[in-house]
Amino acid sequence: MPHISERYTDLPEATIGKLLKLAAEDKTVLSLGPGEPDFSAPKPIVALTKKFADTCNHYSPTGGRTELKEALVKKLKKDNNIKTNPDNIIVTCGSQEALLLATACVCDVSEQVLVPNPSFLGYLPTFELFNAFPVPIQLKANNNWDINPSELKYYIDKKTKAIMINTPANPTGNVLSKKILEELADVARDNNLYIFSDEAYEKLVYDKKHVSVGSLNGMEDYVVTFQTFSKTYAMCGYRVGYAVGPSLLIEAMRKSHIYTTLSAPTISQMVATKALTIDNKYIEVMRKEYDKRRKYLVKRLNAIGLPTITPNGAFYTFSDISAVHDQSFKFASDLLHEQKVAVVPGKEFGSYGEGYIRCSYATDLGIIKKAMDKMEKFVKKHQR
C-alpha cells in the first residue's frame, strides 16, 4: 500500500467524532455534544442567501471581498475597539483556516506555540500539521480556568513564537479579564511574540464583558485576532471567518491562501457583508436563550454531584467527574450506552482536561432537562 505521511498518522484520533456519530445515528440519544448553534440563521440572512444565489458563481479575491473587509473595519472599531484597515484583514473559510494560515506563516519546524490546556481540540493538530511544537499551559479549575501570565513566562525560550488564547473559551466558558489580557500583552511585547487570539464566541458573553487583546495600546504588531460568523450569526455552514493583524503577516497569509482554498465562498462573503448590518435583536435572542439554559444546566450539574464553575461565555459547561470516574472517555461512553446521553470527554481538549466532561447548551432546553434527569440516575448509580 502507498505511504501515508507521519504528519497524518501522528494526528490524535478524536473520540468526539465517534460519540457524536453514534448520537446522530441513534435518534433516541439526547445529545449535549454540539459545538454549533441550534438556532437557524436569522431570516434576513436566509433571504439574502436566496437573493444572491444566481450572482455568486465566480471566485472572490484571495484576501476577501473589498466590501466585506471595509464592513469589517467598521465592525472591529465599533465592537472590539480595534482600529485597522482592509489591508490588515483576511477573509477565510472559517476562523480555523485563518489559524492554519497564521501558523504556516509564523512557525518553522520545531518552533513553539504556548497553548492553554484544556482548550479547543483543533489547536494542537493545527500546530502539529506544520511540525510546530505546542507547549501545554495548564489551566486549573481552582483558578477559574484563567491563564496565569506569571507562570507563562517560564515556558518561553528562543523557539517560542506565539501564545494561543481563546476568549470566550471552549470548553471551559472562561472569559479573560482586561487585567489578564494586559499582562499577557506585556509578556508578548517583552519577548517579541505573537498572540493568536481566538474570539469565535465574542458575542456570547454573560455577566462579564468581552475585551479583545488586539485593542490594547501598542499591540498592533503583536496580535492576530480570529473571528467568525459561525457562532454570532448561526452561519456555521457558510464557512466564513476572518483574521485581523499586522499587515506583513496578513499579506503572507493571503499569499498562502492561494494554495489552500483560494478564497472563502463568494455567496458566504456577500451574505456576511449584509449580516453585519442586521438588527442585533437576532443575536440577543440567541444570547438570552443560551443564558437561560446556562443557568439551568450549571445548577443541575452541581446539584447531582458534578462540580461545575459557572461559565461566563460560549455555550459549554466543563464539569468535574471525579465523584464518579477518573477517565472521562469511560464516563462519556458508559453514559451514552446506559442512559443514551451524549457528552464530550474532557481529555479531548488536552491532557489537563482529563477528569472532566463538556456539556453544550446549544440545544433545546427540553432536551437538556431530559438529559440531566438521565445523567442524575447515572451519577447516583456509579457514584463512588
Question: Same structural domain for residues 102 and 134?
Answer: yes
Question: Same structural domain for residues 167 and 29?
Answer: no
Write the CATH number for 344: 3.90.1150.10
- The cell numbers describing 37, all together, are 448553534
* CA distances (Å), origin 315, targets 99, 200, 206, 212, 324: 21, 11, 10, 19, 24
Query: If you average pLDDT over residues 297-326, what whole number do you get?
Result: 97
**Chain centroid to CA 80:** 17
For residue 123, give the nearest of 165, 181, 156 by alpha carbon. 165
What's residue 59's pLDDT? 93
What's residue 5's pLDDT? 72
Write the CATH number for 109: 3.40.640.10
Query: If you average pLDDT over residues 230-254, what whole number do you get?
Result: 96
Q: How far apart are CA 166 and CA 223, in angstroms?
A: 13
Phi/psi at 161 (nearest 5 deg)?
A: -120, -20
Phi/psi at 253 (nearest 5 deg)?
A: -65, -40
Q: How far apart are CA 160 and CA 193, in angstroms?
A: 7
Query: If you average pLDDT over residues 18-27, what whole number do you get?
Result: 71
pLDDT in tens, 345-358: 999 999 999 999 99
Question: Same structural domain for residues 295 and 357?
Answer: yes
Q: What is the DSSP string of 12-38?
A: ---HHHHHHHHHHH-TT-EE----S-S
Entry pTM? 0.95
For residue 382, give the nearest of 335, 344, 317 by alpha carbon. 335
**Is it true that the peptide bond before 118 is cis, omega within 30 degrees of 0?**
yes
What's residue 279's pLDDT? 87
Strands 241-244 and 356-360: unpaired
Rg of the Cα atoms in the chain: 21
Question: Same structural domain for residues 77 and 120?
Answer: yes
Question: Same structural domain for residues 33 and 180?
Answer: no
25 within some domain: yes
**Residue ending a domain, choose from 226, 253, 275:** 275
Q: CB of 123 within 8 A of CB of 267?
A: no
Strand order of the β-sheet with 356-360 is 316-320, 356-360, 344-345
Read off the pLDDT band of 34 (50, 70, 90).
confident
pLDDT of 7 above 80: no
What's residue 162's pLDDT? 98
Q: CB of 334 within 8 A of CB of 22?
A: no
What's residue 14's pLDDT? 64
Question: Same structural domain for residues 66 and 35?
Answer: no
Mean pLDDT, the chain, rounded, equals 94
Share of residues in the chain with pLDDT > 70 (%): 95
pLDDT of 303 above 80: yes
pLDDT in tens, 56-101: 889 999 999 999 999 999 999 999 999 999 999 999 999 999 999 9
Query: If you average pLDDT over residues 311-337, what whole number do you get?
Result: 96
pLDDT in tens, 99-136: 999 999 999 999 999 999 999 999 999 999 999 999 99
